[in-house]
Structure 1
Amino acid sequence: MAGGAVLTANPLKLDLRSHRKCFFICSVITIASFQYGLDYALVGGFMAMPGFLRVFGYFNTATNKWSIDPTVQQLISSLMTIGTFVGSLLVGPFSALFGRRHGLWAASLLNFVATGIMIGTTSLGALYFSRLLLGVSVGWFLTFAQVYVNEAAPAHLRGVMFAVYQCQLSVGSIVGAAVDNGTHLLDGPEAYRIPLAVFFVAPAVQSVAIFFFPESPRWLVTQGKEDAAKSALRRLRNARISETELEAEFNEIAVSTREQMEQRDGKHLWIDMWRGRDRRRTLLSIAIICFHCANGSSWVNIYTTYFLAAAGVTEAFSYSVMVTCMGLIGAIASSFIVRRFDRRVIVLVGVGACGLCQLAFAVAWTVAPGSVAAAKSIVAFISLFTFFYVAYAPYAWLMGGEYPNNHLRAHTFGLATALNFLGNWLGVFTAPYFINPASLGWNAKYGYVWAGSNAILFVFTWFYIPETRDRTLEEIHEMFEANVPARKFKGYVCAGTRAMADAVILRDKEAAHAAHVEDPPAAASATGRDLSGSHMEKA
């Protein structure tokens, strides 16, 4: 479990210091995930915010409180998820034409337009449209950022970078919950307009920074721009990386990518991903990415504040901030273990713990519904659920991006992400029917459904998810092409990929040796003359 992949073909130094530049670039790229966490926390809080409900809700005379219609609640929450579904499906075609960086710029533009509409409107129709548009933006932010990091980060640091990605998402959730907590008592529309203004910050910072970052080297190779790809790779690597190491890494990328492209016609990528051994890779990518919606995280994340308030928890907004902080702690904790433990192990522990947490608060509500003890149990187990979910979630994203080949990555990852968001939409859209008192009113007993779902994920991971820790994307390609069983990925020796990297190292060694022994007869003759002269003088 600890120890990592054996005999990796990665030619680079396996430390962090030698890759500080790439670490910084990828960290800025992952700011995109801040928007996703921010949206979940902000909009979830709006559902229990009088200032928001006065504009988009109604006054319930029976309870003498402001309320929101379940249908409106569903549409506000779910339309963003539908937007992410549509946006993610467009990632492949857009990326094939314009690359990863332009996708992030386009996401920022859509974000600015959608946020402006949400802040300025009092119409439900305009709000619905802006939520859909914001969803497309968020889908592009998440997908393009993750594809870029998968392709730019060194093999041994991809796990760490995705932990940073999850930290950014958790920070977004904390900021969103904290801002909501600070404005939720305001009676006017500023109660939700002030939090919405935060949507402008992260995309503005990222949009400026991307001007100084290179495009993905692997994408450039797929476009036939190998000189530009090598230049981009050099910009991603520190000066501490020797030219031999950089040449070896680039040779591995270029040779493997050319081979991958030659095996496909390059014109029907939506079809190619389902052909031959790529079918297995596509299905695995979709499966592991859809773990996010299949473990019940969507309804827990977006309805945390509403759910706690419905369960009789006092200071629900404050507790919501605490829950999001538990997520950040989980992300930070996972960043320390990802280099030491296999990804399969982290995912197994994560889905197992998430299932037990959902089961625990469902049982608590069944035994003592509406009681103080049940409310405390809900707070405790939602906090633990958030910790374990956030601790393993980035590696489900990571593996989903590692499985496809370089030529098909954007299309496959975009489809997998879209299906995950479709699952999220289903969870968000149906949750009010289960938890809202005006419908079934199950409240925390809804956790029974998701406890069973997590049990299925545990079994699936055990039998079908391959281990990819510290493997280059080209090694992963070789193992899939060799049809290696999932349980044997960890110990498999990638001789072919190693040879690609070693070819450059051997070439440089031979060149250096040739330089040392250049013109050997003349050198030997000169040495002989010197020695002879020396002897003669002595004689």
Structure 2
Amino acid sequence: MVAAAISANPLQLDIRSHTKCLAICFVVTVSSFQYGLDYALVGGFMAMPGFLKVFGYYDEAAHKWAIDPTVQQLISSLMTIGTFVGSLSVGPFSSKFGRRQGLWTASVLNYIATAIMIGTTNIGALYFARFVLGISVGWFLTFAQVYINEAAPAHLRGIAFAVYQSQLSIGSIVGAAIDYGTHHMLGKEAYRIPLAIFFVAPTIQSIAMFFFPESPRWLMTQGKEAEAESALRRLRNKNIKEGEFQAEFEEIRTTTAAQSDQFKGKHLWVEMWKGTNRRRSLLSIAVICFHCANGSSWLNIYTTYFLTVAGVKEAFSYSTMITCMGLVGVLTSFFVVRHIDRRVILLIGVAACGFCQLAFAVAWTVAPGTVVTAKVVVAFIALFTFFYVAYGKQPLYPESCQESNPLSPEAPYAWLLGGELPSNHLRAHTYGVATALNFLGNWLGVFTAPYFINPASLGWSAKYGYIWFGSNVVVILFTWAFMPETRDRTLEEINEIFEAKVPARKFKKYICTGTEAVKTAVIEEKNRSTSHVEEVTREEA
């Protein structure tokens, strides 16, 4: 379970030798801070009188400000549609302009959308801004993760993604705290002050990206070998041995050159469904879409509402506590990511999430609406959030509920696997499609949940968990049968294993003769050159 793969990774397998790259990845993950901040902030606006006075109406019967359900759903849906469109456009844009340009463009779109939301009182303009912001979110999410996958050393990709997730969690907590501080304000400043925070993270990232290199693997796909080598050198610490560096670069160069010949003059949208790439695309899409298959959407979005229906007093306080369980989960992931196989983490996490869904469904069936059941609901939603975050997903918090959970994050491993599986040329295309389908599935889960849990409809409440327990069982079986183990493998090794059509269960022990030969040859050549120089120096002396 914990034994490392037989890897041809030529680099020293520690952390201190790669602090520079980890620092760069940390700054790139600021986009995930923005992602968590956005959903936490805007989700809270639905309960702010200052926001509802502008975009809602006064309910005479209830004596409070409210928002029309259609307006509420459009604010949510247009954001999701924008994210869907943005994710699908990542592949073509990235193929031509690269990862850094994608992050810069996402920042510009974020600035435009945020400025409109702050300045407008027109609902049509707000709809447009939400759509544009959705495109920005889709690009932030996808480009940042593709960059990290391609920049981080193989043995540290998991840690880099854990940093990504922690940024998201912190962003969500900051957003919830800012909302809490302004929600009693009765004027427009109640939501305009939080919205102004949207400018901070993209500005930090945009400035920093001027000093960071482009993805060396993307540069190599463009035939820019000299620039790719320079970029890789800027990502690696100076104390890395030249032989190790050259071995890593040669591995990237050789594999990418072979892929370039394969895809030259062909349409990448078509090629991702041909030959071994079809298997890789389907696996990448499947693992990322685990997000919408484990029942997270209805718990993430309707936590506070669901706790209220369950008879839990102080539902908002408990929701905040559950939010903090997410941060505990992601911090826990730091300690396991380098030592436990990806498949094992996924299997344990999905099984735990399924058990939690089943537990509170059974409790509600036995004693619906009781105090004891309410406590069980709180406990297992908290446990669900912990395992959900600790095993590997990314959040979706559409503002379709007035009292949405400010933090329901998903940790790195599903997204990590989804980015490791495609080839260098197809990564952005496959990742974009997978992200778009995940958002679509999450939207479907959020949209349909009220029909199951609302007392005015089917009124299942927590018994809705039975359906998602069954869904988690399917995910477990799929992971066991088809998901390969990629821990500590370089992206080039993963490519070689797929090209060899190795079954999923044999990935871990497969010896990559091609990448191993490249590494050995380069290091031996470097050693011979060093020995020759030393010998000549001694003779001259």
Q: Residue in 2 aligned with 1:512?
A: 530
The correspondence for 2:465, drawn from 447, 457, 478, is 447
1:261 deviates by 1.5
1:425 Cα offset (Å) = 1.6
Do the aligned partners of residues 35 and 435 (structure 1) sit closer, same or farther apart at CA in structure 2, a change above 3 Å counting? farther
Tell me if structure 2 keeps the 8 A contact 1:51–1:188: yes
Equivalent position SS for 1:33: helix
SS of residue paired to 2:187: coil
Are 1:428 and 2:446 counterparts?
yes
Match of 1:4 in 2: 4
Against the structure 1 CA distance between its residues 48 and 63, is the aligned structure 2 distance closer, same or farther, given a 3 Å change threshold?
A: same
Alignment correspondent of 1:471: 489
1:533 aligns with: none
- Aligned runs of 1:201-220 on 2, under 5 Å? 201-220=200-219
Q: How far did 1:308 drift?
A: 3.2
Q: 2 CA distance for matches of 1:65 and 1:433?
A: 25
Do structure 1's residue 460 and structure 2's residue 478 form an aligned pair? yes
Match 1:400 to one of 398, 403, 418: 418
Whether contact under 8 Å (1:285, 1:401) holds in the other structure is: yes
Q: Is the aligned partner of 1:25 residue 2:24? A: yes
**Residue aligning to 1:353:** 352
The separation in 1 between residues aligned to 2:506 and 2:327, in whole angstroms, is 33
- How far is the alpha carbon of 1:112 from its aligned partner? 1.1
Q: Which amino acid counterpart does residue 495 of structure 2 have in structure 1?
A: H
- Unmatched segments (≥5 aa) in structure 1: 527-539
Deviates more, 1:430-439 or 1:32-41: 430-439
Query: How far did 1:518 drift?
Result: 5.3
Q: What per-residue deviation string (whole Å, max 9, x for no partner) do you get for residues 445-495 of structure 1?
A: 332222221111111101110000000000000000000000000111101
Q: 8 Å contact 1:40–1:302 — kept in the other structure?
A: no
Q: Aligned partners of 1:396, 1:519: CA distance in 2, in Å?
A: 53
Assess, with a 3 A threshold, how the Cα gap between structure 1 residues 514 and 364 changes in structure 2: closer, same or farther.
same
Compute the displacement of 1:200 (Å): 1.7
Q: Deviations over 1:167-207 (max 9, x none)?
A: 11111121122222222333333333332222222111111
Quick check: 1:74–1:432 contact (8 Å CA) kept in 2? Answer: no
Map 1:81-480 → 2, pairs under 5 A: 81-393=80-392, 394-480=412-498
Q: Is the 8 A contact 1:85 1:139 kept in 2?
A: yes
Tell me: CA distance 1:307–1:187, structure 2 relative to 1, closer, same or farther (3 Å).
Answer: farther
RMSD: 2.2
* Contact 1:298–1:428, Cα closer than 8 Å, also in 2: yes
Task: Label 1:172 to 1:218 Cα distance change in 2 as closer, same or farther (>3 A).
Answer: same
Distance 1:299 1:382, change over 3 A: same
Tell me the CA shift for residue 383 of structure 1.
1.6
Higher mean alpha-carbon deviation, 274-283 vs 322-331, is at 322-331
- Conserved? CA contact 2:158–2:413, under 8 Å: yes
Q: How far apart are residue 64 of structure 1 and its match? A: 4.4
Distance, in Å, in 2 between the alignment partners of 1:189 and 1:372 is 39
Task: Look up the match of 1:530.
Answer: none
Give the alignment partner of residue 482 of structure 1, picking from 480, 489, 500.
500
8 Å CA contact 1:77–1:428 kept in 2: the answer is: no
| Cα distance per residue 1:413-441 (max 9 Å; x no partner) | 11111111111221222233334455444
Does the aligned pair in 2 maintain the 1:294–1:453 contact within 8 Å? Answer: yes
Preserved CA contact (<8 Å) 2:161 2:416: yes
Among candidates 488, 501, 510, match of residue 492 of structure 1: 510
Between the aligned residues of both structures, percent identity stands at: 72
Task: Give the counterpart letter for 1:449 in structure 2.
Answer: I
Decide which moves more: 67-76 or 332-341. Answer: 67-76
Once the 2 structures are TM-superposed, how far is the Cα of residue 116 of structure 1 from its aligned partner?
Answer: 1.7
Of 149-158 and 162-171, more deviation after overlay is shown by 162-171
1:277 alignment partner, SS class: helix
More displaced, 297-306 or 230-239? Answer: 297-306
After superposition, the Cα gap between the structure-2 partners of 1:519 and 1:37, relative to the gap in structure 1 and judged at 3 Å, is closer
Q: Structure 2 length as normaliser, TM-score?
A: 0.92
* SS of corresponding position for 2:13: coil
2:406 matched residue in structure 1? none
SS of aligned partner of 1:248: helix
Give, in whole Å, the separation in 2 of the partners of 1:389 and 1:243.
41
Gaps of 5+ in 2: 393-411
State the shift of 1:365 in Å: 3.2
Residue 59 of structure 1 and its aligned partner are, at CA, apart by 4.1
Distance 1:169 1:475 in 2: 30
Alignment size in residue pairs = 522
Instruction: Mark the CA change 1:120 to 1:367 in structure 2 (over 3 Å): closer, same or farther.
Output: farther
Report the AA paired with residue 23 of structure 1. Answer: L
Report SS of the residue matched to 1:238: coil
Which residue matches 1:535?
A: none
Distance 2:99 2:486 in 1: 23
Kindly state the Cα deviation for residue 306 of structure 1 after the two structures are TM-superposed.
Answer: 3.6
Q: Quote the offset at 1:60 in angstroms.
A: 4.2
Q: Which residue of 2 aligns with 1:529?
A: none
**Per the alignment, do residues 410 and 426 of structure 1 end up closer, same or farther by CA in structure 2, a change over 3 Å counting?**
same
- Match in the other structure for 1:536: none
* Cα-to-partner distance string for 1:117-176 (whole Å, 9 max, x where unaligned): 222233332222211111110100010000000000000000111111111111112112
Query: Which has the larger Rg?
Result: 1
CA distance in 1, matches of 2:162, 2:286: 20
- The separation in 2 between residues aligned to 1:314 and 1:186, in whole angstroms, is 24
Residue pair 1:42, 1:176 contacting (<8 A) in 2 also: yes
- Answer yes or no: is the 8 Å Cα contact 1:43–1:77 preserved in 2: no
| SS of match in other structure, 2:388 | helix
The answer (yes or no) to whether the contact 2:34–2:168 under 8 Å persists in 1 is: yes
AA at the equivalent of 1:410: A
1:149–1:25 Cα change, 3 Å: same
CA contact (8 A) 2:243 2:527 kept: no
Residue identity in the other structure for 2:248: E
TM-score of the pair, normalised by structure 1: 0.92
Structure-1 separation of matches of 2:174 and 2:363:
30
CA contact (8 A) 2:142 2:431 kept: yes
CA displacement, residues 500-537 of structure 1 (integer Å, 9 cap, x when unaligned): 122211111222333455599xx7xx9xxxxxxxxxxx
How far does residue 499 in structure 1 lie from its aligned partner after superposition?
A: 0.9
Question: How far does residue 109 in structure 1 lie from its aligned partner after superposition?
Answer: 0.8
Tell me what 2:407 maps to. Answer: none
In 1, Cα distance between the equivalents of 2:83 and 2:493? Answer: 31
Deviates more, 1:121-130 or 1:402-411: 121-130
Code of the residue aligned with 2:508 in structure 1: it is K
CA apart distance, 1:442 = 3.5
Residue type of the partner of 1:506? E
Asked whether the equivalents of residues 280 and 422 of structure 2 are also in contact (C-alpha less than 8 Å), the reply is yes
